[in-house]
């Protein structure tokens, strides 16, 4: 924006086309993730526009937390982002998602499923051929970094506790819980490529991150 007049700056902001709003709604990528991927030969940008499916941390403002959560909606028109678990209650008890600015977020685990988004990597990594195997290794490294450096959310801890209680009640002395627990630990130790092979054998979709693949396999086993 070249004008110094506030009225013209406001007019340009509220009448901006969507491709400009897309660039404005950018969040920085976690510095530790960028350094780890750089040591593996992949260069990441300092920041990029947020996208549904990215796992982010709220680093400032209301809802600040050290746990990661996924973006559920990006509203370009209102320039707001909605993340899972960040909600509020109306006076009548209705629960709604609370909007947040993209500047309050840090991308901890970006989603590279969109081919158009991979062009960001192509521009700064010209010597790398971005095949599906390379992207799978990239996402696996991101999942490992998130597991090592980000605290698990309280909701996931509560859900895991509730699942254990329901499994114990349903088993009533059977060894189903032990088998389910062993399967879960086995899935978490497997690589993304191995999980996709199992999904192909069961004729299930192979798209998504490692956590999505594990949930899909666990749901099919149940």
Per-residue pLDDT at 192: 79
**CA-closest candidate to residue 130, choices 146, 114, 108, 107:** 114
- If one compares 205 and 12, the residue with the highest pLDDT of the two is 12
Per-residue pLDDT at 37: 93
Per-residue pLDDT at 186: 64
Range in 149-153, 156-160, 206-210 with the lowest mean pLDDT? 156-160
The residues of the chain that CATH labels 2.30.30.30 are 10-128
Dihedral angle, C-alpha 4, 8, 13, 18, nearest 10 °: -110
Per-residue pLDDT at 156: 54
pLDDT above 80 (res 62): yes
pLDDT above 80 (res 149): yes
Per-residue pLDDT at 204: 82
Average pLDDT, the chain: 84
**CA-closest candidate to residue 88, choices 62, 110, 113:** 62
The residues of the chain that CATH labels 1.10.720 are 154-221
pLDDT above 60 (res 180): no
Range in 71-75, 107-111, 113-117 with the lowest mean pLDDT? 113-117
Q: Which CATH code is given to the segment(s) 154-221?
A: 1.10.720
Average pLDDT on 183-200 reads 73
How much of the chain is helix, strand and coil, in % rounded to 5?
50, 15, 35
User: What's domain 10-128's architecture?
Assistant: Roll (2.30)
Range in 43-47, 54-58, 111-115, 204-208 with the lowest mean pLDDT? 204-208
Q: Give the position of tokens 């062993």.
A: 182
Tens of pLDDT, residues 33-47 = 999 999 998 999 999
Radius of gyration of the chain (CA): 20
Per-residue pLDDT at 59: 94
Per-residue pLDDT at 219: 77
Tens of pLDDT, residues 133-143 = 888 899 999 99
Q: What is the pTM of this model?
A: 0.67
């Amino acid at each position: 924006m070249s004008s110094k007049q506030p009225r013209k700056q406001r007019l340009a902001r509220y009448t901006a086309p969507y491709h400009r709003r897309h660039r404005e709604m950018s969040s920085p990528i976690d510095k530790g993730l960028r350094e780890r991927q750089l040591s593996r030969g992949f260069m990441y940008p300092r920041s990029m526009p947020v996208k549904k499916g990215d796992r982010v941390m709220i680093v400032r403002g209301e809802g600040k937390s050290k746990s990661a959560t996924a973006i559920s909606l990006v509203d370009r028109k209102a320039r707001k982002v909605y993340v899972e678990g960040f909600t509020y209650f109306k006076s009548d008890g209705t629960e709604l998602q609370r909007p947040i600015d993209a500047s309050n977020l840090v991308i901890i685990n970006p989603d590279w499923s969109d081919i158009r988004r991979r062009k960001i990597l192509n521009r700064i990594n010209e010597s790398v051929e971005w095949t599906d195997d390379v992207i799978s290794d990239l996402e696996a490294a991101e999942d490992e970094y998130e597991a090592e450096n980000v605290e698990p959310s309280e909701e996931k801890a509560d859900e895991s506790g509730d699942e254990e209680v329901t499994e114990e009640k349903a088993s009533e002395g059977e060894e189903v819980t032990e088998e389910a627990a062993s399967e879960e630990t086995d899935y978490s130790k497997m690589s993304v490529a191995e999980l996709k092979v199992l999904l192909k054998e069961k004729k299930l979709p192979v798209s998504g991150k490692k956590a999505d693949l594990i949930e899909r396999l666990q749901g099919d086993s149940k």
